[in-house]
Amino acid sequence: MNHLNHYITRKAGEIYLNLIALIGTVKPFENKGDEAIYITSIQLIRKHLKKIKILLASPEFNPSYRKLRKYGADIITRHPMGALSELLTKRNTPNSFQKSLAKYIYYHTPPLISALLSKRIPSKFNKILKNIDTFVIASHPLEAAGFSTYVSSFVIPRFLNPQSKIIAFPLSLSTKILNNFISKSRAKNALNKANIVYTRGNHTAKLLKKHLKLKNVVASFDPAITLSKTEPKEKPLKGIAVVPAGLSVNPLFLAKLIRKLIEELEKHIYIIPFSLDDIPIAHKLFNLVKNKDSCNVIDTSNMSPQELKGFLSHVEMLITSRVHAAIFALSEHIPTIGILREDDVKFYDVLGTFKLDEYIFNPKIAPINTLNKIISTAKAITDNRSDIVQLIKQKLPLAVAKAENTCFALKKLVTGD
């Protein structure tokens, strides 16, 4: 009997003390950082709760079951917010319009309605979820994009089992959420459902306490810091890695930055897409660079997060708009400069943990001046690299310990010890 049937055949109302639900808040693929969160969250749960089975609820409309099994979960299902959309596809083979409508409903059903339907609509997975005692919310950044999915991830478990325990694995947030009264209220309501909300660092913890008046917040660190690495098939020559983030940072700004890095630091530049959204931008940046002999785009489409981390471990420096590129690099003692995206505080959490706050730059504030500051900082890092590496090495154990602490708390919730 497989794991799924084992729980389906249990008595109604029987609480599954040896089963944890890991609720995803963003799709688990197409972004190396998001993949790393799922991989390391499951690994940490396995490490600290060896006898626990894990149900992974993916927010994909059509979960990639074969791929998701590689993450190590015992049971894989859709996110419970999909109850209403299932009604459109359950009884017969849907046409393309029905599929499109079902997918739209899946991602846009208000959380409260999703919660009510999840409790009332019979399905084998809802039956299991109703009887799970502990939920872990894989808390990716709390942003405007996918906000309904995020809120649903906290609201639905409480509806399914009012006595359930909820822990949010380290999150960060967009300040845009705090600037909108409705979003702010919804975020507060959602996060208040959790017993503990772990953040990626002190910056987000302070914001949540100040603006949302949350008392269940603990500063922690991203579990991706514990990701193992795999050596890449081709190791890079010494140089600087630049990671864009879709269109969130002006490509012209990054192109000028790359040109100046080549000219003034005489370094080879590796442009590294971290997600599918980054691939066209990476090639656009390459096309905007004149000295193409000193620059190339790395094909990451078939790289695992572990292999990408292995690649970054060989560069001299990282300049990134993607926070997980920073986490990968810092875990390998690589000096890192963070370029802020709009309303994003993730770098304050991550680089702040390593006392590298001065390496955070906002390109929307005086772009030319900011560009020159980044170049000056890159030169300073080159001149003092060994000292910076030592600082990162000194701070890394604390970051890892903070990430591990989330599972110590989870174990306490599960066992009651």
Digit-coded pLDDT (tens) for 128-177: 888 888 999 986 667 766 788 888 899 988 888 888 899 999 888 888 88
Identify the architecture of domain 240-396 in CATH: 3-Layer(aba) Sandwich (3.40)
Pairing type for strands 269-271 and 240-243 reads: parallel
Tell whether the model's pLDDT for residue 17 goes beyond 90: no
pTM above 0.85, yes or no: yes
Q: Mean pLDDT in the chain?
A: 88
CA atoms within 13 A of residue 9's CA, in its CB half-sphere: 6
Q: What pLDDT was estimated at residue 308?
A: 96
Q: What pLDDT was estimated at residue 293?
A: 93
C-alpha 22: how far from chain center: 14
Please give the Cα distance from 76 to 24 (Å, whole number): 11
- Domain 3-220 matching CATH 3.40.50.11720: the answer reads yes
Output b/e per residue, 36-48; b: 16+ Cβ within 10 A: bbbbbbbbbbeeb
Q: Which residue has the higher pLDDT, 277 or 100?
A: 277
Max mean pLDDT range (4-8, 112-116, 260-264): 260-264
Where in the chain do CATH 3.40.50.2000 domains reside?
A: 240-396
Q: What pLDDT was estimated at residue 342?
A: 73
Neighbours of 315 (CB within 10 A): 24
Q: What pLDDT was estimated at residue 1?
A: 37
**Mean pLDDT, to the nearest integer, of 201-210?**
93
Query: Which single residue is written with the structure tokens 């791929």?
Result: 67
**Mean pLDDT, to the nearest integer, of 172-192?**
88
Question: pLDDT tens digits for 243-264?
Answer: 999 888 899 999 999 999 999 9
The residue type found at 391 is L
C-alpha 331: how far from chain center: 16
Please give the Cα distance from 37 to 172 (Å, whole number): 13
Q: Which residues on adjacent β-strands are paired with residue 201? A: none
Q: Residue 9 — pLDDT band, cuts 50, 70, 90?
A: very low
Tell whether the model's pLDDT for residue 321 goes beyond 90: yes
Q: Which two tokens stand for residue 284?
A: 């656009």
If 0-12 CB within 10 Å is exposed, 13-18 middle and 19+ buried, where does residue 209 land?
Answer: middle
Where in the chain do CATH 3.40.50.11720 domains reside?
A: 3-220
Pairing type for strands 53-58 and 75-78 reads: parallel
Q: What pLDDT was estimated at residue 66?
A: 82
Question: pLDDT tens digits for 379-417?
Answer: 999 999 999 999 999 999 999 999 999 999 998 888 876
Question: pLDDT tens digits for 37-86?
Answer: 999 999 999 999 988 999 999 888 888 888 888 899 998 888 888 777 77
Q: Residue 180 — pLDDT band, cuts 50, 70, 90?
A: confident
Q: What pLDDT was estimated at residue 166?
A: 94
Q: Which residues, 6+ apart, have CB-to-CB distance to 406 below 8 Å?
A: 44, 167, 169, 170, 198, 220, 223
Please give the Cα distance from 383 to 191 (Å, whole number): 44
293: three-class secondary structure by DSSP: helix
Q: Which residues on adjacent β-strands are paired with residue 31? A: 275
Q: Residue 92 — pLDDT band, cuts 50, 70, 90?
A: low
Neighbours of 82 (CB within 10 A): 30
**Mean pLDDT, to the nearest integer, of 284-310?**
94
Residue 217's closest CA among 236, 189, 197, 195? 197
Please give the Cα distance from 359 to 394 (Å, whole number): 17
Q: Residue 8 — pLDDT band, cuts 50, 70, 90?
A: very low
Please give the Cα distance from 269 to 295 (Å, whole number): 5
Q: Which residues, 6+ apart, have CB-to-CB distance to 374 below 8 Å?
A: 257, 319, 337, 339, 361
Q: Which residue has the higher pLDDT, 100 or 168?
A: 168
Q: Residue 90 — pLDDT band, cuts 50, 70, 90?
A: low
Tell whether the model's pLDDT for residue 11 goes beyond 80: no
Neighbours of 350 (CB within 10 A): 27
**Mean pLDDT, to the nearest integer, of 85-110?**
74
Cβ proximity of 251 and 244 under 8 Å: yes
- Alpha-carbon dihedral of residues 394, 45, 207, 362, nearest 10 degrees? 60
Q: What pLDDT was estimated at residue 145?
A: 66
Q: What pLDDT was estimated at residue 372?
A: 96
Q: What pLDDT was estimated at residue 381?
A: 97
Q: What pLDDT was estimated at residue 309?
A: 97
Q: What pLDDT was estimated at residue 45?
A: 94
Side by side, the strands of the sheet bearing 269-271 are 295-297, 269-271, 240-243, 317-320, 336-339, 360-361
